[in-house]
C-alpha cells in the first residue's frame, strides 16, 4: 500500500478521537466520544472494523488492559496512535489543506 | 452465555483472570473477528454497553446485537482475506470444550441441517426415498432373520436342548430306532433327560362327524427334556410311557373345544379314545417341529415302546431330543453320543446296512439350520440394495455439495473450520439417513406383513416374525451407519475444498471439482458392480428354480387329489379288516364318475421323506464286517400305480394278484436295481425285508423309473414298493393303518373332495378325512422355499437395477450439464449429433462397463458360496452372465439416453454465452 493513500472519513475521525482520549481510548470509549463530538451515531460494526483495519495498517497500536468486572471479566482493548498514524494524519491534513486552497471563498459564498 | 468456569486460552497473556465463558453467539463473533485481542476488546465492550443499558447477556437483544456484528466482520474478511490472522485460530475442540456448549453447537448445526434440507424438498424426497428403499428391504429381511433364526426356542434354557440322531454313512441326519432309544437312554452320561418321539394323528368323533387331529407319541424323556409344565394336571413320567400306558396330555385348544374347558376332565377318560387325560398343555405350547409352523399337535400320548420286544436296531422312525446337564457343552455331548453310538454299532452291527454314525446338534440348529443359508443370502442381498442406495444418496449429496461450493466457501470465510463444515455435512447426511430410516421402517412394516403373507411353508416360524425391539434397533443402526456411509465422501470432499479457490471460480454452481467428479464416477461403478451381483444372483436363482420346475418327479402330478384317512386299532382290531377297508375305498372311489383311478399310499411324494429299512439280498451274503444294504420303503395299494403313473421299465406293477396269501412281491426303482443288481436283471431277484416285517422275502416283479420322493432336488435313493395287502410292520405291528388316498380325475381334482368324503362316509361314517390336497399343491409347497427365495431375490434385483439406473442417469446427466460449454464449442466447431452422442454414450458405457466387469467377478466369487442352494446351474452359469450384461446394458443405455439427447440439443450460442 502506497504511503499516500488517503484516510477515509471514519478513519480520520477515529484517529482524532484516539488522540484526544489519550490513555482512555478503548473501543466503547472511542465510540461514545465520537458520537458526542460528531453528534451522530456511528454503526458499531464500522467502528470496530475500522479500528482493526487501522491497527493492521500500522496507524494504531493496541493492547489489552486488565479484566474488568463491568465487562464480565473481559479486558479493555486500548488504542494509541503510532508515529505512522500521526504521519498519515499530517499527510492527510496537508493534502486537504492544499485541496482547500483557493476554494474556500467559493464555499463561503454559497 | 452464563456458563461460568472453563478458562479461555492463555494466548491473552500471562496473569490474566479468566473472563466469563463465551456464549455461542459470542464465540461465533470471535471466530469471524479472527484476532483474539480484538475479540476480547469487542466482546468486553458489548457486555459493558449492555450492562449500562440493563440488557442481560442471555437476552435475545444482546444476542441479536452480537450476531448483528457478524456480517460486518465477515464482509471485511472477504474483502481483505488473509489479513486477519493476528492470532492462530483456536481449534474447535477448545472452542467447544464444555459438554453443554458442544450439545448447543450440535443442536444449532442440526437446525441448520434440517432447514437446509427443507429448502430443497425435491432433493430431500429423492434421497429419503432411495435410502428408505434400502433400509426398508434390509429391515424387513432382518425381521424375518431375527424372528426365524435369532429368537430362542420356546423352552426353558433352550440352549441346552439337542437333537440326537443317527445317520448312515453319507446321509446327514437320520431318525433313531426303538433299540437305539433304549441304549442311548441307558448309557448317555451328559444328559439330564433324553427321549424320542414321532408324529401321527388320531381320530376324534363327535356329533359333527369324524375328524383326524394331529398327535405326537413321545417317551417320558421328551416331556422331561422340554420341561413341559402342563397348565392343569401333570405330564406322564417314566414308567407311564410303555405299551400299556394310557395317560395322555392334550393341547389347550383340544381341552377347550372337545372337553368344554372342564377342569374336572383331568384324571378321567377322554370320551371315545380309550385314554385318560393326565394334563392340559399351556395355550402356546408346541413340540419342537410345531415351532416351525403348521397345525399344533392336539394330543401327546405315550410312545409305548416295549423294551422286551426290541429285536432290531434297524428301523429308524423316531426323533431324538435331549436336555444337556448344566455346564455340558455341545461338544462334550457329541462325544458322549458318539461313544454310546459306537457301542450300539459294535453290539448290533448285524442290524445295520452300513456304518452308522451317532451325533448330536443344538435343537435350534436342527430345526432351523436348513433355512439359515437361504435367509442369510436374502439378508446379504438386502444389504447390497442398501449399499446401492447409499451410493445413490452419496452421489446426490456430492452433486448438491458442488452446487453449494460458494456456500461452503462463504462459511469457511466466515471462520467456519473444516471440521465444522464436515460436521455440517455429516449432520445433513445423518438427518437424511434418519428420515430414510423412518420411511424405511414404514416400508419394513408393510414388507414384513407382505413376507408373512407370502407364507412360504418351508420358511419356519414365520408367525414369530414381527417388527420388534431388535428389529427397531437394527433399523436405527442401519439408518445411522447409512447416513455416515453416504455422508463420508461428500464430507471428505468438503473438507478438502479450498475456500479461496471456490470463491475465485466465481461460484459457478455447475462447475464440479475434479475430485468430486472422480468420486461420482467411482460411486456409479460401485453401484453398477453391486447391481450386477444382485442381478446375477436373482437370475441365477431364477434359472435354478426353472431347472427345478423342469425336474420330472417321476410321477404325474396333474389331476391328482389326495386325502389322509386312518383306521385306528380301537375300531379295527382285525388286520384283515384294515386291508379290506382300503380295498373297499379304492374300488368305490374308482367307480365315482370322473374318477379315472384310485389308490392309497403311506407317504405321498414330495410331502414326507421316506424312511429306510435294512434288507438282505438273496444270494448276496454280507461278508463279516461288510455293509448291510438298506432301501427306502413304501407301501401302496395296486391302484396307486394307475393314479400316479410312474414309468414302468421292466416287469409289471403290483396288482390284484399280490394278495395276502400270494408270494411276497415288490416293485423297485431304477436306482435300487442298479445299486444291488448291477449289470444283472433285477427282475425276479429276491430280498428280505428287515426287522421281521412281512411278507419277509419278496420277489422283484417290476422296475420303475426313479421317483423324486424326498424332494425335487434331492438325490434318489434305492426305493421299493410292497403291497398294502401283504405288508405288516416289524414285531407283528400289523398293517399300515394311516394312509393317503389318491385319485386321478378327468377334471380339476379339487372338485372331487366331496366325492372322497362321500365315499369314506359310505364305507365308515366314523372315519375322518383330513389334509385334502391336490398333488399340484404338494408339488407347489415343495417348491415354496426356492420360490420364496427367487421372488425376494428378484424383487431386490429389480430395486437394485432401478436405483443403479437412477444413479447412472444422474451422473451422466450431471456430466452433460457440466460440459455444456465444451459440448457447445464442439457443436459450434462442427461436431455432428452422432459425434456428441458417441461422446456422452461412451462416457456412460465406460462407467457401466467397468462396473459390469467388477460386478461379474464379484458375482462369480459370491455365487460359489451359495452353490449349495443352487440346483442344475453352475455358479458361473454363462447364460446368467450374458443375461445380466444385456439387462444392465439395456437399462444403462436407457438411463444415458435422456442426457445424451439433451447434449445433442445444446444450442452452442447459448452455451457459450453462459460461459
Alpha helices in chain A (DSSP H): 9-21, 27-38, 44-57, 83-100, 104-109
> Cα–Cα distance between B64 and B30 in angstroms, integer?
15
Q: Give the count of beta carbons closer than 10 Å to the beta carbon of residue B498.
A: 11
Q: What is the pLDDT of residue B379?
A: 86
Could you say which of A31, A52, A76 has the minimum Cβ distance to residue B38?
A52
Q: What is the DSSP letter of B82?
A: T
Q: Give the count of beta carbons closer than 10 Å to the beta carbon of residue B359.
A: 18
Q: Which chain A residues are within 8 Å of B18, Cβ to Cβ?
A: 73
Could you say which of A28, A46, A72 has the minimum Cβ distance to residue B72?
A46
Which phi and psi angles does A65 have, rounded to 5°?
Answer: -90, -150
| pLDDT mean across residues, chain A | 84
Least confident of B157-161, B261-265, B495-499, B713-717: B495-499
One-character DSSP codes across A53-76 = HHHHHTSEEEEEEEEEGGGTTEEE
Q: Which of B208-217, B546-555, B659-668 has the highest mean pLDDT?
A: B659-668
User: Are B544 and B636 spatial neighbours (Cβ–Cβ below 8 Å)?
Assistant: no
> pLDDT digit string (tens) for A28-71?
999 888 888 777 777 888 899 899 889 988 899 999 888 888 88
pTM summary value? 0.64
> Chain A: residue nearest B5 by CA?
A73
Sorting pLDDT into bands at 50, 70 and 90, what band is B29? confident
User: Are B122 and B360 spatial neighbours (Cβ–Cβ below 8 Å)?
Assistant: no
Average pLDDT estimate for B499-511: 48
Average pLDDT estimate for B339-354: 81
User: Are B615 and B352 spatial neighbours (Cβ–Cβ below 8 Å)?
Assistant: no
Q: Which chain B residues are within 8 Å of A76, Cβ to Cβ?
A: 41, 44-45
Average pLDDT estimate for B167-195: 83
Cell of B860: 462369480
CA distances B316 to B306, B494, B521, B610, Å, are 15, 69, 61, 10
Q: Which chain A residues are within 8 Å of B43, Cβ to Cβ?
A: 74
Min Cα–Cα distance to chain A from B413, Å: 16
Q: What is the pLDDT of residue B92?
A: 40
Q: What is the pLDDT of residue B162?
A: 94
Min Cα–Cα distance to chain B from A50, Å: 9
B16 has pLDDT over 70? no
User: Are B640 and B599 spatial neighbours (Cβ–Cβ below 8 Å)?
Assistant: yes
Q: Which chain B residues are within 8 Å of A52, Cβ to Cβ?
A: 33, 35, 38, 76
User: Are B456 and B409 spatial neighbours (Cβ–Cβ below 8 Å)?
Assistant: no
Min Cα–Cα distance to chain A from B809, Å: 49
Counting beta carbons within 10 angstroms of the beta carbon of residue B710, is it exposed (0 to 12), middle (13 to 18) or buried (19 or more)? buried
| Residue B738 C-beta-side C-alpha neighbours within 13 Å | 14
Cβ separation of A26 and B41 shorter than 8 Å? yes
Q: What is the pLDDT of residue B251?
A: 93
> Cα–Cα distance between B589 and B562 in angstroms, integer?
12
Sorting pLDDT into bands at 50, 70 and 90, what band is B720? very high
Q: Which of B442-451, B555-564, B816-825 has the highest mean pLDDT?
A: B555-564
> Cα–Cα distance between B808 and B892 in angstroms, integer?
7
> Cα–Cα distance between B300 and B219 in angstroms, integer?
10
Question: Is the Cβ of A43 closer than 8 Å to some Cβ of chain B?
Answer: yes
**Enclosing H/E stretch for B335:** helix B330-348
B233 has pLDDT over 60? yes
> pLDDT digit string (tens) for B88-117?
344 444 444 444 456 777 778 888 888 888
Q: Is residue B586 helix, strand or coil?
A: helix
Q: What is the pLDDT of residue B512?
A: 47
Average pLDDT estimate for B508-526: 66
Cell of B233: 394336571
Peptide bond into B695 cis (omega under 30): yes
> pLDDT digit string (tens) for B723-767?
999 988 765 568 888 889 999 999 888 888 888 989 998 898 888
Question: Is the Cβ of A40 closer than 8 Å to some Cβ of chain B?
Answer: no
Cβ separation of A46 and B43 shorter than 8 Å? no
B546 has pLDDT over 90? no
Cell of B113: 441441517
Share of chain B above pLDDT 70, in %: 85
Could you say which of A43, A49, A55 has the minimum Cβ distance to residue B73?
A49
Q: Give the count of beta carbons closer than 10 Å to the beta carbon of residue B260.
A: 9
CA distances B810 to B398, B540, B899, B900, Å, are 11, 29, 9, 12
Cβ separation of B40 and A48 shorter than 8 Å? no
Average pLDDT estimate for B578-583: 90
> Cα–Cα distance between A34 and A22 in angstroms, integer?
14
> Cα–Cα distance between B352 and B312 in angstroms, integer?
9
Sorting pLDDT into bands at 50, 70 and 90, what band is B172? low
Q: Which of B298, B317, B307, B179 is nearest to B244 (CA)?
A: B307
Extended beta strands in B503-592, E state: 560-566
Share of chain B above pLDDT 90, in %: 20
Least confident of B154-158, B315-319, B690-694, B724-728: B690-694
> Cα–Cα distance between A12 and A25 in angstroms, integer?
15
Sorting pLDDT into bands at 50, 70 and 90, what band is B277? very high
Q: What is the pLDDT of residue A102?
A: 78
Which of A48, A50, A69, A80 is the best residue to mutate to test the B interface, defined by the most B CB atoms within 10 Å of its own CB? A48
Q: Give the count of beta carbons closer than 10 Å to the beta carbon of residue B814.
A: 20
Q: What is the pLDDT of residue B457?
A: 58
Q: Which of B525, B542, B543, B544 is nearest to B855 (CA)?
A: B525
Could you say which of B19, B37, B72 has the minimum Cβ distance to residue A73?
B19
Write a three-state SS string for B803-869: HHHHHHHHHHHHHHHHCHHHHHHHHHCCCCHHHHHHHHHHHHHHHHHHHHHHHHHHHHHHHHHCHHH
CA distances B858 to A56, B536, B798, B801, B853, Å, are 61, 10, 18, 16, 9
Question: Is the Cβ of A90 closer than 8 Å to some Cβ of chain B?
Answer: no
> Cα–Cα distance between B69 and B258 in angstroms, integer?
85
Q: What is the pLDDT of residue B686?
A: 92
> Cα–Cα distance between B541 and B797 in angstroms, integer?
11
Rg of the Cα atoms in chain B: 38
> Cα–Cα distance between B628 and A56 in angstroms, integer?
103
Q: Which is higher by pLDDT, B18 or B455? A: B455
A-B contacts at Cβ under 8 angstroms: 93
Please report, for chain B, how many H helices and E strands are present, in that order.
Answer: 28, 21
Q: What is the pLDDT of residue B562?
A: 93
Cβ separation of B72 and A49 shorter than 8 Å? yes
User: Are B411 and B70 spatial neighbours (Cβ–Cβ below 8 Å)?
Assistant: no
**Geometric angle at alpha carbon B78, from B72 and B83, rounded to 5°:** 100
| pLDDT mean across residues, chain B | 81
Write a three-state SS string for B694-739: ECCEEEEEEEECCCCCCCCCCCCCCEEEEECCCCEEHHHCECCCEE
Write the CB contacts of B288 (distance below 8 Å, at least 6 apart in sequence): B153, B161, B163, B226, B319, B321, B363, B367
Sorting pLDDT into bands at 50, 70 and 90, what band is B559? very high
Q: Which of A49, A50, A1, A13 is nearest to B32 (CA)?
A: A49
Least confident of B219-223, B323-327, B555-559, B573-577: B573-577
Sorting pLDDT into bands at 50, 70 and 90, what band is B356? confident
Beta bridge partners of B862: none
Residues, chain A? 110
Average pLDDT estimate for B79-96: 44
Sorting pLDDT into bands at 50, 70 and 90, what band is B127? confident
Least confident of A90-99, B108-117, B303-312, B754-763: B303-312
Least confident of A48-52, A81-85, A94-98, B856-860: A94-98
Write the CB contacts of B281 (distance below 8 Å, at least 6 apart in sequence): B228, B230, B231, B249, B250, B251, B252, B300
Average pLDDT estimate for B481-501: 69
Q: What is the pLDDT of residue B426?
A: 80
> Cα–Cα distance between B174 and B318 in angstroms, integer?
9
Q: Beta strands B209-218 and B299-302: pairing type? A: parallel
Q: Which chain B residues are within 8 Å of A74, Cβ to Cβ?
A: 19-20, 40-41, 43-44, 47
Beta bridge partners of B174: B166
Question: Is the Cβ of A8 closer than 8 Å to some Cβ of chain B?
Answer: no
Amino acid at each position: 500500500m502506497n504511503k499516500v493513500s488517503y484516510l477515509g472519513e471514519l478513519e480520520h475521525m477515529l484517529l482524532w478521537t484516539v488522540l484526544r482520549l489519550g490513555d482512555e481510548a478503548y473501543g466503547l470509549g472511542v465510540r461514545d466520544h465520537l458520537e458526542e463530538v460528531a453528534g451522530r451515531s456511528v454503526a458499531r460494526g464500522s467502528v470496530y472494523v475500522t479500528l482493526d483495519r487501522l491497527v493492521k495498517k500500522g496507524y494504531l497500536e493496541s493492547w489489552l488492559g486488565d479484566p474488568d468486572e463491568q465487562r464480565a471479566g473481559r479486558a479493555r482493548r486500548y488504542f494509541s496512535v503510532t508515529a505512522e498514524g500521526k504521519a498519515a494524519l499530517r499527510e492527510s491534513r496537508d493534502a486537504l489543506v492544499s485541496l482547500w486552497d483557493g476554494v474556500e471563498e467559493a464555499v463561503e459564498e454559497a | 452465555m452464563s456458563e461460568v468456569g472453563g478458562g479461555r486460552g492463555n494466548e491473552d497473556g500471562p496473569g490474566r483472570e479468566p473472563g466469563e465463558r463465551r456464549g455461542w453467539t459470542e464465540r461465533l463473533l470471535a471466530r469471524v473477528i479472527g484476532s483474539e485481542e480484538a475479540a476480547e476488546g469487542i466482546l468486553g465492550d458489548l457486555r459493558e454497553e449492555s450492562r449500562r443499558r440493563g440488557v442481560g447477556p442471555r437476552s435475545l437483544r444482546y444476542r441479536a446485537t452480537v450476531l448483528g456484528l457478524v456480517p460486518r466482520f465477515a464482509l471485511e474478511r472477504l474483502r481483505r482475506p488473509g489479513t486477519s490472522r493476528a492470532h492462530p485460530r483456536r481449534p474447535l475442540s477448545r472452542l467447544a470444550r464444555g459438554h453443554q456448549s458442544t450439545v448447543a453447537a450440535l443442536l444449532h448445526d442440526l437446525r441448520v441441517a434440517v432447514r437446509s434440507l427443507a429448502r430443497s424438498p425435491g432433493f430431500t424426497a429423492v434421497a429419503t426415498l432411495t435410502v428408505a428403499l434400502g433400509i426398508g428391504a434390509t429391515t424387513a429381511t432382518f425381521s424375518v432373520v431375527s424372528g426365524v433364526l435369532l429368537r430362542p426356542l420356546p423352552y426353558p434354557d433352550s440352549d441346552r436342548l439337542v437333537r440326537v440322531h443317527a445317520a448312515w454313512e453319507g446321509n446327514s441326519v437320520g431318525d433313531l430306532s426303538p433299540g437305539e432309544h433304549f441304549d442311548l437312554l441307558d448309557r448317555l452320561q451328559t444328559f439330564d433327560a433324553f427321549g424320542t418321539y414321532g408324529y401321527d394323528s388320531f381320530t376324534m368323533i363327535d356329533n359333527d362327524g369324524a375328524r383326524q387331529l394331529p398327535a405326537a407319541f413321545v417317551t417320558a424323556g421328551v416331556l422331561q427334556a422340554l420341561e413341559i409344565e402342563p397348565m392343569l394336571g401333570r405330564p406322564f413320567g417314566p414308567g407311564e410311557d410303555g405299551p400299556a400306558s394310557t395317560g395322555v396330555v392334550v393341547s389347550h385348544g383340544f381341552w377347550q373345544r372337545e372337553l368344554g374347558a372342564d377342569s374336572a376332565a383331568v384324571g378321567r377318560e377322554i370320551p371315545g379314545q380309550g385314554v385318560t387325560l393326565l394334563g392340559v398343555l399351556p395355550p402356546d405350547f408346541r413340540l419342537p417341529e410345531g415351532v416351525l409352523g403348521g397345525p399344533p399337535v392336539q394330543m401327546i400320548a405315550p410312545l409305548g415302546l416295549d423294551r422286551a420286544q426290541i429285536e432290531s436296531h434297524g428301523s429308524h422312525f423316531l426323533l431324538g431330543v435331549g436336555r444337556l446337564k448344566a455346564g455340558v457343552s455341545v461338544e462334550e455331548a457329541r462325544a458322549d453320543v458318539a461313544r454310546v453310538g459306537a457301542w450300539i454299532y459294535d453290539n448290533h452291527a448285524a442290524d445295520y446296512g452300513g456304518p452308522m454314525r451317532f451325533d448330536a446338534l443344538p435343537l435350534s440348529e436342527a430345526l432351523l439350520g436348513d433355512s439359515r443359508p437361504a435367509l442369510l443370502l436374502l439378508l446379504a442381498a438386502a444389504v447390497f440394495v442398501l449399499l446401492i442406495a447409499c451410493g445413490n444418496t452419496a452421489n446426490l449429496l456430492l452433486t448438491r455439495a458442488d452446487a453449494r461450493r460458494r456456500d461452503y466457501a462463504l462459511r469457511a470465510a466466515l471462520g467456519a473450520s473444516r471440521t465444522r463444515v464436515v460436521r455440517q455435512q455429516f449432520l445433513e447426511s445423518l438427518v437424511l439417513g434418519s428420515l430414510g430410516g423412518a420411511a424405511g421402517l414404514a416400508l419394513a412394516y408393510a414388507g414384513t406383513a407382505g413376507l408373512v403373507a407370502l407364507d412360504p411353508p418351508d420358511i419356519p416360524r414365520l408367525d414369530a416374525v414381527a417388527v420388534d425391539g431388535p428389529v427397531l434397533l437394527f433399523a436405527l443402526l442401519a439408518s445411522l451407519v447409512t447416513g455416515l456411509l453416504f455422508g463420508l465422501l461428500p464430507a471428505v470432499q468438503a473438507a478438502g475444498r479450498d475456500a479461496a479457490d471456490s470463491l475465485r471460480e466465481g461460484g459457478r454452481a455447475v462447475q464440479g471439482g475434479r475430485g468430486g467428479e472422480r468420486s461420482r464416477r467411482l460411486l456409479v461403478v460401485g453401484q453398477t458392480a453391486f447391481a450386477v451381483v444382485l442381478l446375477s444372483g436373482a437370475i441365477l436363482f431364477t434359472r435354478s428354480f426353472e431347472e427345478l420346475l423342469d425336474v420330472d418327479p417321476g410321477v404325474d402330478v396333474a389331476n391328482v387329489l389326495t386325502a389322509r384317512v386312518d383306521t385306528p386299532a380301537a375300531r379295527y382290531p382285525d388286520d384283515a379288516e384294515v386291508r379290506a377297508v382300503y380295498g373297499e375305498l379304492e374300488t368305490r372311489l374308482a367307480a365315482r364318475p370322473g374318477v379315472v383311478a384310485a389308490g392309497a399310499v403311506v407317504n405321498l411324494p414330495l410331502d414326507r421323506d421316506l424312511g429306510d429299512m435294512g434288507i438282505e439280498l438273496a444270494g448276496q451274503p454280507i461278508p463279516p464286517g461288510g455293509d448291510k444294504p438298506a432301501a427306502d420303503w413304501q407301501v401302496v395299494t395296486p391302484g396307486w400305480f394307475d393314479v400316479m403313473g410312474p414309468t414302468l421299465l421292466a416287469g409289471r406293477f403290483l396288482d390284484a394278484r399280490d394278495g395276502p396269501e400270494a408270494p411276497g412281491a415288490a416293485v423297485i426303482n431304477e436306482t435300487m436295481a442298479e445299486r444291488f443288481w448291477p449289470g444283472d436283471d433285477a427282475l425276479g431277484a429276491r430280498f428280505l425285508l428287515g426287522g421281521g416285517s412281512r411278507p419277509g422275502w419278496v420277489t422283484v416283479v417290476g422296475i420303475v423309473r426313479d421317483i423324486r420322493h424326498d424332494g425335487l432336488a434331492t438325490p434318489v435313493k434305492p426305493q421299493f414298493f410292497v403291497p398294502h395287502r401283504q405288508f405288516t410292520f416289524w414285531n407283528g405291528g400289523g398293517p399300515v393303518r394311516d394312509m393317503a388316498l389318491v385319485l386321478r380325475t378327468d377334471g380339476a381334482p379339487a372338485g372331487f373332495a366331496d366325492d372322497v368324503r362321500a365315499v369314506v362316509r359310505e364305507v365308515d361314517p366314523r372315519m375322518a378325512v383330513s389334509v385334502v390336497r391336490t398333488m399340484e399343491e404338494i408339488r407347489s409347497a415343495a417348491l415354496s422355499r426356492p420360490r420364496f427365495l427367487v421372488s425376494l431375490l428378484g424383487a431386490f434385483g429389480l430395486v437394485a437395477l432401478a436405483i443403479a439406473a437412477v444413479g447412472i442417469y444422474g451422473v451422466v446427466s450431471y456430466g452433460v450439464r457440466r460440459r455444456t460449454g465444451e459440448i457447445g464449442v464442439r457443436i459450434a466447431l462442427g461436431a455432428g449429433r452422432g459425434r456428441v452422442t458417441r461422446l456422452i454414450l461412451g462416457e456412460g458405457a465406460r462407467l457401466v462397463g467397468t462396473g459390469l466387469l467388477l460386478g461379474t467377478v464379484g458375482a462369480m466369487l459370491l455365487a460359489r458360496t451359495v452353490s449349495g442352494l443352487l440346483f442344475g446351474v453352475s455358479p458361473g452359469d454363462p447364460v446368467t452372465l450374458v443375461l445380466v450384461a444385456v439387462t444392465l446394458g439395456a437399462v444403462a443405455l436407457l438411463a444415458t439416453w435422456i442426457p445424451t439427447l439433451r447434449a445433442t440439443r445444446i444450442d452452442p450460442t447459448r452455451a457459450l454465452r453462459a460461459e
